[in-house]
Structure 1
């Protein structure tokens, strides 16, 4: 099997690559990434050492040749959270929606059999009256969530027209340590805050619901979907009911696991409308041997050990490169990245470089 993984140099990619290498050792695994976050390493060994090859390309500009001989595509490439989606709304649609549909269309044309799309439960937005099922109405509240909804619509059409087997995995909120750990995710942020400040600051009133999933369990779901049978297009919530938590419960779990940690909740904060519980009956019924295994306490311990080994000490980590929006903003300010999140060509940087040199 030849597997193409787009966005492999992000947060989830290193864990997916490691898992696929372990579970399908004979597979040829090719990574495709523009390298925006290639330098954001939180482990010593380069995750890409497990690949057979690495292609550096923007997902919006993939050449047809990259799909040659490919059996399956794991599509992780995306502008991947609400703050980035808020600042780069048009680009978020361009990458998360339009480039996703274009990639799937090119894959189908090249004879690829399976397309795995990293979708999101965030498309449920705000939901009262019970846990959301796949057949329930969607309520995307952010540019990121809207882009995932639009991508699923386009992918369903491609699956119907071409026979490409598409799995839209509606992942719960990711957490856990990886080769390129992000600290702009709720549980990751809480553990980082506890380690560096001795306090977990909850900016909301703590009541919103979030389903979570560890990156290792995301990788297991992707492995399952590569070989699944059944309908051409499948949208499925990926996670487990036991990981439906209110934000304040996550904060309390971190404080319990890291002695001396206090919890500060902003009870006067306006309600966060991004609140939803999710039903995972469908995933449990069709993927019984690939159910999430990592518990909340294990995820907190994983982050605690990983971030401590990385050497996280800076209480000002929210302004560091461990928060993806900071990486993009810094590159734009430095003139190496344009506002549409494309790298600026070297020759286009020369006037800027000379100007700074004179200054």
Structure 2
């Protein structure tokens, strides 16, 4: 299948690209690559690339593809909160425009990277895909709005699918440290503390980035009738944890560390547990391989191999919001988060 993968140089995209290639798909990337200086370990797969901001893509860029997998956007709550109007412009409007262009260009499938953050503040009950949306951040709201708008485009020629990923973790060439399991393991490795900034009670589903890649691959290859205009919670129902449980797993794997709470630690309004039985029933080739403990072990080994320091993971290189602010400060990125001409050179 000829696939256009937006955000192929990001945290998930850097893992998904080789998955698709190994399955024999013809993959073209679409990415402005503002995180080109943020590679942690390993190389990114070399594929044909449209190096554009997602807001600047045209219909001609879409022609000839069998499917579009749309990952690109502001990737987390801190970035989403930074300038909410840009979150709306990039994550919502540009995503809906991309889907409309894809439909006009005759692309039959559109896989959208939604998120379980659409459930937001939902308590401790298990939620399936029919649960009401209740986002508590601009990032979560943008995902809800895209789902609602793109769903209305579905017809006999255009088939959207919405993959609501649990909170990601695990090793990627474009590693993120702002994800809870990656972050807690890094704190433990570099400081001896598993540092919780909440009171540890909120629930969160988590899923390894490789399992997310496997879910996209399964949806891409599934019969249209199984995925047409449907949403899927991505993960395993057994992989829902309270934050303190994740902290305890980290402390049991990383030597000589203990769980610590920030002085102002309090409840987090983001609290939800998800039921992932729908994807298990309908996409039989999707079989998650990872657990939280295996993920911590993988990250701990990687941090040991790289000699990760506190400055590394708390610094501007690997923290998405800090890196974006740095690029604006040094004139590599505009206030609208578009790349400026100077971005053509590597950023130290």
Render the CA deviation track for 1:256-293: whole Å, top value 9, x for unaligned.
00111111024863321100111112111112330311
- Determine if the alignment matches structure 1 residue 21 to structure 2 residue 21: yes
User: TM-score by structure 1 length?
Assistant: 0.91
Give the Cα–Cα distance (whole angstroms) in 1 for the partners of residues 296 and 141 of structure 2: 30
Is residue 82 of structure 1 aligned with residue 77 of structure 2?
yes
2:319 aligned with 1:318 = no
Q: Distance in 1 between matches of 2:341 and 2:196?
A: 41
The residue number in structure 2 matching 1:113 is 108
Residue number in structure 1 paired with 2:178: 184
For residues 124 and 9 of structure 2, the distance between their equivalents in structure 1, rounded to whole angstroms, comes to: 38
Which residue pairs with 1:293 in the alignment? 289
* Shift, 1:35, TM fit: 1.0
Q: Secondary structure at the match of 2:148?
A: helix
Give distance in 2, aligned partners of 1:314 and 1:269.
21
Mark the CA change 1:156 to 1:208 in structure 2 (over 3 Å): closer, same or farther. same
Greater CA radius of gyration, 1 or 2? 1
Gaps of at least 5 residues in structure 2 are 344-348
The correspondence for 1:307, drawn from 303, 307, 322, is 303
Deviates more, 1:276-285 or 1:61-70: 61-70
CA distance in 2, matches of 1:331, 1:299: 31
Q: In structure 2, do the counterparts of structure 1 residues 329 and 194 end up closer, same or farther at CA, with 3 Å as the change threshold?
A: same
3-state SS of paired residue (1:3): strand
Check 1:219–1:44 CA distance in 2 against 1; reply closer, same or farther (3 A cut): closer
Instruction: Give matches, 1:1-359, under 5 Å.
Output: 1-22=1-22, 24-25=23-24, 27-45=25-43, 47-49=44-46, 51=47, 53-128=48-123, 130-160=125-155, 163-228=157-222, 229-230=224-225, 232-266=228-262, 269-315=265-311, 317-346=313-342
State whether residues 58 and 101 of structure 2, in contact with CA within 8 Å, keep that contact through their aligned partners in structure 1: no
More helix by share: 1
In 2, the alpha carbon distance for the partners of 1:44 and 1:132 equals 36
Aligned-CA RMSD value: 1.6
- Offset of residue 110 of structure 1: 1.2
Secondary structure in 1 matching 2:73: coil
Quick check: 2:2–2:27 contact (8 Å CA) kept in 1? yes
Instruction: Measure the CA separation in 2 of the matches of 1:119 and 1:272.
Output: 21
Provide the residue aligned with 1:357 in structure 2.
Answer: none
In 2, Cα distance between equivalents of 1:43 and 1:56: 22
User: Separation in 1 of the partners of 2:342 and 2:214?
Assistant: 40
Which structure is higher in strand share? 2
Do 1:205 and 1:267's aligned partners in 2 also have CA atoms closer than 8 Å? no
Alpha carbons 2:188, 2:254 under 8 Å: kept: yes
Deviation string, structure 1 residues 91-147 (Cα, Å, up to 9, x no partner): 111111111111111111111111111100001111136111211111000000000
For residues 27 and 285 of structure 2, what CA distance do their matches in structure 1 show?
23
